[in-house]
Structure 1
């Protein structure tokens, strides 16, 4: 009978510390590898938290330069005389601006390009800088009369220099400088249509702004800080009344700051949750690795019990080991996060409207360090609690097993509950919207559950599989997947989750790109002509026929805005608590159409589409599904439109589900024939161009004969969108790579933790006459099978997840690219094999005598 050792508290703590240190000899690298499973997860969390703190600081410091002024008033219709007088009565310095898109011709390059024109009558921005080449223009912050400032990308593409010319409509401008950056705008602002700044004076001479043209009329106001409250008070008084009637959108510095913070928070929350997945998988890896590690320490623990040590002391020894090495692992992750925080901003810079200057965020470092250490602690605690069950008799009788199981240990369940509760609390805190956090956490648990169930089912199936006809090496490798101390469950869960994240990202990106990839279709239109006036329609159609590019769809476009919904004026809806009408509806200038059929890229999902209407008002109209909730209407509800000064009553007769694709035009609101044909109309015409050369020739002809008509080359739009999506994809793949790296670390830890068992098996095989080549073949097959199973499991779940996202979130068709999916699978198998092989080197060449003597 053993007698317990009784020591004072201080002496006992010192003895436990010494024993923990001595017992770790020869296993310290292994313990460090175990706790390294959380390094990438902690690094991701520290990096994202630090980036969030820095971005919040920058947004607060540069709040006024993010808007460039104190207030911006914007409307999509020509300002009325009442609105013009009201703006003139406001205090402060004002700059008026008109923004519209048009074609620009560059004589030096002999090419035309779709651009966004910004005509200003003063210096912008009031706050921040307009960075240009040459730098002298920065001080004036506005183009001189007869001059233009063009986007740098446009200058490089066309080979333009200061002094060259650009033709906008019927007027020629001298290029003064190239625009590098405008305060408050990101690099992507001019991605689809490069910016060109020109003086507002003389804009009518270009002939580009005609009836029906899409123009944004903006007024930027800068004022002294002392006068700003009075100005904001006047603006606020008219925000829900006069501005609603005039369709004026108001944006203040605070509005811009909140908008930017909302977008950044959504992005950073998503990236942080990806890092959180890596941290969670690291915790799963620690549970499995510590369990295997303790299996090899059972004899040592039993001997300590025989020598009088209590189960509490034995437990404290190994708990001290895990806490110490957990702190080291958390510290390594924090250092990694500090380094990554200076890399991630460079990946996001093109999406941000301001330069990023990173500083160390000590709250972020402390959060990552503390939370990461807690994950290590509770993950290790679950298997550590089993030490209390080890009997002293285990040291002398190998048949004695620990009484009970961790599945029946209430303390183990308590530790698991605390761990899950902490993870859920962290998820909810990061997601900001509780329902989103719950969905994410629930989906994560379901994925982990499915992967675990798959691993259990696989092991059960392999036990029952008849493998007598297989080569012996194959049978041995398959047997290693279900025999004691196998790592199948751990590998399928960790690697499978990494594959799930990355492949879901790739499939969703491909689905989005598939909606705009019109180059692969022989039939789809790839050129759109906009702002074709009624008196130009027949001539433009004739020009298209003469150039061998006949018009496809010829769609009338009529500008209007909403006056009343369900008989209630818009200003009353604006002041109604919990109004179902979305904010953008109040000030939006709608471009609607009329026709007698539903296009083949849409389907009626409610009500009935009326092709022609010969009755009086209200006219039956068809709304697309995506605006029904924004209007707060349903079938049978009335909408009153202001069609350029004339009220038109309509009733919702049908709802359409539209597949919005490049090359196929459609509209949110469609009138039947014989209703609004008399209203001022412009046309949108789609064309199929066989080559870029044909498109360029058409651009030249249109620019010369119809300078107001804009040509959109959808192939260029697709390439620009692809570049943007690729940049976003790279950022997310960078973070998802943390999860794959975690899985590989867990794999390495699992292989090393079972190294002695594998060496023992290898020696027994060699004693029985097996060759080194046979043993290496078994190891190779086992790692390849683990990679294959994990990859297939992750791919299967990613297909289900991406289908759900594309179907229910983006409402677009789902498709799989076999080559890309196969590449992901091969990459996972290869990485698993390489990692397993590197961490099991030397197993096949161990000397049998050394192992047999140890036995």
Structure 2
């Protein structure tokens, strides 16, 4: 018989086998469908958001191309160049303090000033509807403003009320309902305050050195809106090499958001892959149990002369067909997920979610599902080939020990490698993906060792007098025991839950406990050089025992390292933030008090040699820098190159006044720097915080005051939203563990029926059997929980300490939660799965032995 004929015949037999229904494969289907739906759904949603950003790139950016400068406006030559490209709209953004006219309250706001050409794309929606000129123009001596609802709520104001911004009074004339280019401005943690450019200039907030971003957006003519972008960028760079502007096009309208979506979707995809791999254990259990019930059919095949390979082929075809059904169910769920979450995402992302059909995301999920099905089914199938017909007729089946022949093991290993390689190649951050893959493989190996260790310990346990306990210990180590499957399935799910709970708990502890204890109470930004002495005197007079720290600050962007343009360099994702956009930089004769010199030497006071810089050690290492290397920064349109003289260990988690780069003072001699200051108020004087805020805002309206408590509340709210999504993803993995647990129990029911019948014949009561099963499940649940706590803590420690650079704490509530979940799940699902076993009549079973 040719191979094609064998395949056709095997396909016919497989279809006949499936006529009896899918009984025994429901958990199989659920495991595959759950994993495929998680992977396909997450990637479909991510691509729908990315497609929405790409489709609305011009609206999100506010133009075809934008030129952004920090702390300075364009020169006349630069303005002429930009205006020559097309229609230009000018805007400026900064943070400042808005306050009531009576001085009774104030709030940090994100100020955005626009000209009358705004917006070039999209539409600004306000209530009540009115023109931009009417909304922001000057009337009766007051400029107008549009604000968001959270500003009105925070300040307890209404439309028509007036507030002070800097040295000018603004009338609130409209409520912002939709700001088309909101996403391009990055993360905002204060309410929006929209005014005209004339209004911002009248406020007096724009002073030399003020932290204000000037943005020039261009709408290109139709014939150059696509082909001209790269040419314009190149021409701008060539003609104005020292401009220091950040040029973005509508193709990359919201780079930070797009990158965060990619990272977050990768994490959720890896969690979904964990669920799928956990489900693979369920596949192996289901296949083993199904083949165990088909011993008579397999024996008949072999007795009639069919080779073992033909029996393997029949059931391989059948299992892959069932796997396709599970994949199809998962793909349907994944395909509708973008539509299902469209409304939910709209409240978090003000961008059209381009819900649709994404073949690439669904195909990737399908491939993952099919490879997982085959990888975990191949070893149980391999045992079919080597079992003689006589053994099958004697009711001996798949409880034998040992492994199938090496070709099956090799194929299973190759499939696992392909699965890992696919996860690695398709990952956004391959370093994280690599860690996940290695950790996953290690977890499988360790869990198998844990299962063997539990069985070995049970086998060597001293003989006990309690019959239920003795039966429980025997069930843990007997041939065909549930121990390997239970430990593997439940262990992976619980480990993931423990790791996520510990990471989330440690982050919240940092935000709510550790950071507030170390962090200053206030940051003061944009203090003018001629005001710093008076400012220091006022603050220290209000809080004489407070800790006041100040230093000069400029904004600069790293443009080259060792003479190489950073745009031409491959940068590790974890340190890319250092090179992204403008950074705060400072200069000082002395080493900052929150830093420790780790390498090199500090320059002497009144140093006048070549420009020197001290770089943060961890970030320098990630960038591949060493002492003597050069760093080129663009500050106020001027490129400055400095040589690295030292590295510093910086305590970022303290939220104190820290900088990546500290320069020698001669580097920026004469530059219009402003001052940054922090204030830490003693616990006994915390009640003076409102006085400090009020007096500073009233005396220096242009100084921006940031309350660390408010900022941490915003961060905590963001963490809560992320944690909800992460917990939901982890719950999918735990759900897969539950399914696999049920499948493992179902796979072992046949052996348990025989055991229960024999024990009943020997005089065991139902109470004795229940006590034995409960004890067995509690022992397995306890052992698995202990492993999950250890492995989850190791994973969480690595993420918190090595990735986030924070202190890790082992949380007692996570221990209690894990133990309760493990014991409840094991006992409840265990008894639910074996309750039918206890009701079996001995006669019916004994006739089949």
From 201, 205, 223, give the equivalent of 1:204. 201
From 600, 622, 637, give the equivalent of 2:614. 622
Q: Where does 1:128-277 land on structure 2 (aligned, <5 Å)?
A: 128-134=122-128, 136-137=129-130, 143-145=136-138, 146-186=143-183, 191-228=188-225, 232=229, 235-256=232-253, 261-277=258-274
1:185–1:354 contact (8 Å) kept in structure 2: no
CA deviations 1:381-401 (Å, max 9, x no partner) are 321222222222225656x88
Aligned residues: 839
CA deviations 1:714-763 (Å, max 9, x no partner) are 11111111111221122222222221111110100111121232233233
Matched residue, 1:428:
424
Partner of 1:431, secondary structure, is coil
Q: Where does 1:787-802 land on structure 2 (aligned, <5 Å)?
A: 787-802=781-796
Q: Distance in 1 between matches of 2:212 and 2:542?
A: 30
Partner of 2:38, secondary structure, is helix
Q: Distance in 2 between matches of 1:681 and 1:363?
A: 51
Change (3 A) 1:528 1:799: same
Matched residue, 2:798:
804
Matched residue, 2:659:
667
1:240–1:575 contact (8 Å) kept in structure 2: no
Tell whether 2:655 aligns with 1:658: no
From 533, 539, 542, give the equivalent of 1:547. 542
Partner of 2:835, secondary structure, is coil
The CA RMSD over aligned residues, in Å, is 3.8
The range that moved more, 694-703 or 277-286, is 694-703
Give the superposition deviation at 1:120. Answer: 1.3
Q: Distance in 2 between matches of 1:708 and 1:77?
A: 14
Matched residue, 1:731:
725
What is the TM-score when the length of structure 1 is the normalising length? Answer: 0.87
CA deviations 1:249-277 (Å, max 9, x no partner) are 11111232666544433332332222122
Q: Distance in 2 between matches of 1:733 and 1:271?
A: 10
From 92, 95, 105, give the equivalent of 1:101. 95
What is the TM-score when the length of structure 2 is the normalising length? Answer: 0.88
Q: Distance in 2 between matches of 1:564 and 1:252?
A: 19
Q: Distance in 2 between matches of 1:638 and 1:11?
A: 69
Matched residue, 1:447:
443
Unaligned runs of 5+ in 2: none
Q: Distance in 2 between matches of 1:107 and 1:426?
A: 61
Q: Where does 1:274-293 land on structure 2 (aligned, <5 Å)?
A: 274-293=271-290
CA deviations 1:406-438 (Å, max 9, x no partner) are 635133124313422431343134215666544
Give the superposition deviation at 1:627. Answer: 4.6
The range that moved more, 61-70 or 586-595, is 586-595
1:563–1:641 contact (8 Å) kept in structure 2: yes
From 814, 833, 844, give the equivalent of 1:839. 833
1:552–1:688 contact (8 Å) kept in structure 2: yes
Matched residue, 2:326:
329
Tell whether 2:489 aligns with 1:497: no
Give the superposition deviation at 1:615. Answer: 4.5
Matched residue, 2:24:
30
Matched residue, 2:525:
530
1:596–1:673 contact (8 Å) kept in structure 2: no
Q: Distance in 2 between matches of 1:630 and 1:609?
A: 22
2:400–2:480 contact (8 Å) kept in structure 1: no
2:289–2:747 contact (8 Å) kept in structure 1: yes
Give the superposition deviation at 1:168. Answer: 0.5
Change (3 A) 1:154 1:202: closer
Change (3 A) 1:821 1:139: farther
2:785–2:819 contact (8 Å) kept in structure 1: yes
Tell whether 2:380 aligns with 1:383: yes
Tell whether 2:41 aligns with 1:44: no
Give the superposition deviation at 1:579. Answer: 11
Change (3 A) 1:789 1:529: same
CA deviations 1:632-678 (Å, max 9, x no partner) are 64213455778779998854222012121254221222356899787
Unaligned runs of 5+ in 1: none
1:116–1:195 contact (8 Å) kept in structure 2: yes
Partner of 1:770, secondary structure, is coil
Partner of 1:29, secondary structure, is coil
Give the superposition deviation at 1:40. Answer: 0.9
Tell whether 2:389 aligns with 1:392: yes
1:497–1:794 contact (8 Å) kept in structure 2: yes
From 742, 753, 760, give the equivalent of 1:748. 742
Change (3 A) 1:191 1:825: farther
